[in-house]
Amino acid sequence: MSEGPKPPHIVVLGGGSAGWITACLLHHEWGARGGKVTVVESPAIGIIGVGEGSTPQLKAFFDLLGIAEREWMGACDATYKLGIRFTGWSETPGFESYFHPFPGPVDLHSEPGFAQNCALRRKGADVPAHPDDWFLASILAEQSKSPRAEETFPFAPSYGYHFDAHKLGTFLRDWAVGRGVEHRPLKVEEVELSGEQEIAALLCEGGERIEADFFVDCSGFASILSQQRLGTRFISFGENLFNDRAVVMPTAHSSTPRPQTDAIAMSAGWRWSIPLTSRVGNGYVYSSRHISDEDAEAELRAAIGTEKDAGEARLLHMKVGRVENSWTGNCLAAGLSQGFIEPLEATALHIVIYTATDFAKAFEAGGFTPKHRDTFNRRIAERYDGIRDYIVAHYRMNGRTDSDYWRENGANEALPEGLKAMITAWFTHEDIGSANREINGRTPAYPSLSWHCLLAGYGCFPDREKLQQLPAGIEAASLEDVRAMLQACARNFPDYDPLS
């Protein structure tokens, strides 16, 4: 436990996933030193209740809090997630589908060969460079294996989870309250300021006034404290990302699911299929400029085989972008109140965890003053923008020609500079690892492995008929050797049936 000034009393407004994750992390950080955390939330307003896929950051969160998988996974209908399979985003023959894995230790051995072959194929050599062949996680997902290896094999891949968002919130609430976080189920009706950018208190239904030293706005898209009351500027990503709505509906399992999220292209967006132990979560994320709500629902129902009267569909509006500054005055925005990129890479809770953890470090390093606020805000903004660039690449590089939506995305020139630079680097044969560091910094939002998987996964290479044999003296990485190595590794992982 580090010494220092007494931590502040923090009030978190909102009891969705963002509110409880933030409360747990701040309590973990400062609770033992007398820091008090209170969560104020309105059960009548409720939570958004979507957001069922994670990155490995959620595992790091549970590990940090010392919560074992056996404690929370069953309670939240959770399953393992080794990565995302993208299907139908490209029409290039042989590249209609690819798997984006979470990078793990075994990839250190196979990634250099994949990058080498991508570089050769970018220059027109006829060498194998489809991402599915090169990474342990895609082999494990394909074979429906657990990401948890036998004890004798210490090189487990990184993995995330799928879970029920309502149950996750309830689990975290009970865990936090059991350890001293205060829970006030109250609706906030007004926010009292004490200065231009200082919140004094939340004025709640029934006349209660809740004061704190510091406030965290986890009030969802409403962004009651940050955007509404403090007037923090919202930067829209709408010109880069067209999707602004989603229609969601659960279905029963019709077969044993794989430990992966499926992201399948549709006529005006894409749909997810997320397996929980209790059901499959389905959602169609689309652009309301390109399809009506009714047609989107009908297209989703047709795709998942659900009749109109077989289950209720929920329509959600998405505000895509981020606040200019996550930390304003004595208020931090986290979760949907802070921003939302869109769910394609399931990064929202990832950013919540990153924001809360980084905030705790910055606030404490400044002696619980705003000394490091600007640096913190810059880092969070960079993380948002880095994720946005990677997600925009999925749309810009799509090879579909079958609808206005895909054609407009493919022709969109309103691209962030960093993304333009990455695409240029790919097509001008630069080394993608060096380009990524140069363009996106020393800790880029996505590693070069992810950029390789995306661009090679779409088949962004010269046309197949133009590919040539390798010139004498230049060697490609051996796919046979990599396959043998990965298959041998895969034998150390048990079968995984989330429904058993």
Ligand X SMILES: Cc1cc2nc3c(=O)[nH]c(=O)nc-3n(C[C@H](O)[C@H](O)[C@H](O)COP(=O)(O)OP(=O)(O)OC[C@H]3O[C@@H](n4cnc5c(N)ncnc54)[C@H](O)[C@@H]3O)c2cc1C
Contact set with ligand X (CB under 6 A): 13-19, 40-42, 45-48, 50-54, 165, 187-188, 218-220, 222, 224, 246, 283, 285, 316, 318, 335-337, 343, 346, 348-349
Residue 12: count other Cβ atoms within 10 Å of its Cβ: 32
C-alpha to C-alpha distance for 357 and 234, rounded to whole angstroms: 22
Please answer whether residues 140 and 157 qualify as being in contact, where contact means their C-beta atoms are separated by less than 8 angstroms: yes
Least distance to ligand X from the beta carbon of 54, Å? 6
Tokens 């390093």 belong to which residue?
Answer: 365
Return the number of the residue (218 or 432) whose C-beta is nearest ligand X: 218
Q: Which is nearer to ligand X, 121 or 319 (CB)?
A: 319
- Residue reference for tokens 């005006």: 268
Q: How far is the CB of 216 from ligand X (least distance, A)?
A: 11
In whole angstroms, the minimum distance from the beta carbon of 92 to ligand X comes to 27
Phi first, then psi: give them for residue 262, nearest 5 degrees. Answer: -105, 130
CA–CA gap between residue 396 and residue 386 (Å, rounded): 15
Q: Which two tokens stand for residue 214?
A: 């510091």
When the beta carbons of 97 and 170 are compared against ligand X, the nearer one is: 170
Q: For residues 246 and 423, which CB has a smaller minimum distance to ligand X in the complex? A: 246
For 47-60, b where at least 16 C-beta lie within 10 A, e where not — what string? bbebbbbbbbbbbb
Residue closer to ligand X (CB basis): 95 or 284: 284
> 76 is written with which tokens?
């939240």
Given the complex with ligand X, which of 121 and 229 has the nearer CB atom?
Answer: 229
Minimum distance from residue 52 beta carbon to ligand X (Å): 5
Q: Which residues contact 134 (CB under 8 A, 6 or more apart)?
A: 107, 110, 111, 113, 114, 479, 482, 486
Strand partners, 191: 202
Cβ atoms of 278 and 310 closer than 8 Å: no
Question: Which residue out of 81, 145, 319, 371 is catalytically annotated?
Answer: 81
CB of residue 25 to ligand X, shortest distance in Å: 14
Tell the smallest beta-carbon distance from residue 158 to ligand X (Å). 16
CA distance 263 to 271: 6
Output the smallest distance, CB 450 to ligand X, in A. 17
Radius of gyration of the chain (CA): 23
Give dist(CA 101, CA 103) in Å, integer: 6
Q: How far apart are CA 365 and CA 44, in angstroms?
A: 38
Find all residues with CB under 8 Å of 311, minimum gap 6, and list them.
Answer: 249, 250, 251
Closer residue to ligand X (CB): 142 or 208: 208
Which one-letter amino acid corresponds to residue 359?
Answer: F
Q: Which is nearer to ligand X, 157 or 335 (CB)?
A: 335
User: 56, 69 in Cβ contact below 8 A?
Assistant: no
Do the strands 37-41 and 339-340 form a parallel or antiparallel pair, or are they unpaired?
unpaired
Minimum distance from residue 358 beta carbon to ligand X (Å): 17
Active site residue 81: yes
> Quick one: angle between helices 448-457 and 432-440, nearest 10?
120
Alpha-carbon distances, residue 210 vs 178, 228, 365, 460 (angstroms): 21, 18, 27, 55
Which residues are marked as active site? 81
